[in-house]
Structure 1
Amino acid sequence: MKTATVKQIKDELKHNSQEELMSLCLRLSRFKKENKELLTYLLFEAHDEASYIENVKQEIDLQFESINTDSYFYIKKSVRKILRLIKKYSRYSLKKETEVELLLYFCEKLKNFRPSIKNNITLTNIFDRQIASIKKIISGLHEDLQYDYTVTLEALDA
């Protein structure tokens, strides 16, 4: 089966009634957890980005608390998992400010994590890559936001 392009899907959806669209969305939500999460964001959380960010930060806190600190191997696996979650939640939002805030929060949690990430090259590299990623995203934001985020980033990177 050949997959249709986004434009073809968009044109076809224009011809459907509201009930048909609703049934398509509900059917789509049954197939993948990410589809359901995206619909949840769009329907319930997109109107209040600040509370969405806070909810994601709470999820990040829970993930950091559950990290197995017996070895750096387990810490690295868990940190990568947390980073994947952040990227996924940022994709739902499509707002660069949200992505910057979540990545800054992640870096802050990682920097303050015990045992220290400075004892492991891989974790230090993950931290450095995220700082570089934040700088790149910040450069595309409004000047006022650039200043605010840069001040926060410098305090974190020091």
Structure 2
Amino acid sequence: MKAVSVVTIKKELKHRSTEELLALCLRLSKFKKENKELLTYLLFEAHDEKGYIETVKSEIDEQFEAINTNSYFYIKKSVRKILRSIKKYARYSLKKETEVELLLHFCTVLKDFKPSITRNITLMNIYDRQIASIKKIVSGLHEDLQYDYRVKLEALED
């Protein structure tokens, strides 16, 4: 079965009743964990973006604490997994400020991680790519926010 376009879906949803839309949303939430997470964000956390950011930051901290530090292989694998989850949470929000905050926190924790990431080229490359990504996103934000985030970036780069 081939999926139809978003425009077609939008037109069809306009013709549905409230009860039908509710049933469709609930049915959609049963199929994938990401759908349920997105609905949770939209219904319960979208109104409090700061609280959402703090929740995700604490989850990032927990994931970093759970990393197996026996080998750089496991560290790299875990860091990539954490980064994937950050990208997913940022995609739920659709706000660039949220993505910058989460990536800044990720880079801060990664920089202070023991054993040091400077001993591994792959981890340093991941770190450098995220710094470059933050810079790119920040350049599109409001000037006041740019200044605030650039100060934080400079602290990371020292």
TM-score by length of 1: 0.99
Alignment of 1:47-66 (within 5 A): 47-66=47-66
The AA in structure 2 aligned to 1:119 is: R
The AA in structure 1 aligned to 2:99 is: E
Distance 1:135 1:4 in 2: 36
Stretches of structure 1 that go unaligned for 5 or more consecutive residues are none
The structural deviation recorded for 1:57 is 0.3
The structural deviation recorded for 1:90 is 0.2
Cα deviation, 1:5-33, whole Å, max 9, x if unaligned, reads: 00000000000010000000000000000
Distance 2:141 2:96 in 1: 8
Per the alignment, residue 34 of structure 1 pairs with 34
Could you list the structure 1 runs, at least 4 aligned residues long, displaced by more than 3 angstroms after superposition: none
Alignment of 1:100-139 (within 5 A): 100-139=100-139
Alignment of 1:6-21 (within 5 A): 6-21=6-21
The structural deviation recorded for 1:3 is 1.1
TM-score by length of 2: 0.99
RMSD: 0.4
Distance 1:2 1:84 in 2: 27
The structural deviation recorded for 1:2 is 2.1
Distance 2:155 2:28 in 1: 44
Distance 1:80 1:147 in 2: 29
Distance 1:125 1:74 in 2: 16
Where 1:148 maps in the other structure, the secondary structure is: helix
Per the alignment, residue 152 of structure 1 pairs with 152
The structural deviation recorded for 1:143 is 0.3
The AA in structure 2 aligned to 1:93 is: S
The structural deviation recorded for 1:124 is 0.4
Query: Number of paired residues?
Result: 158
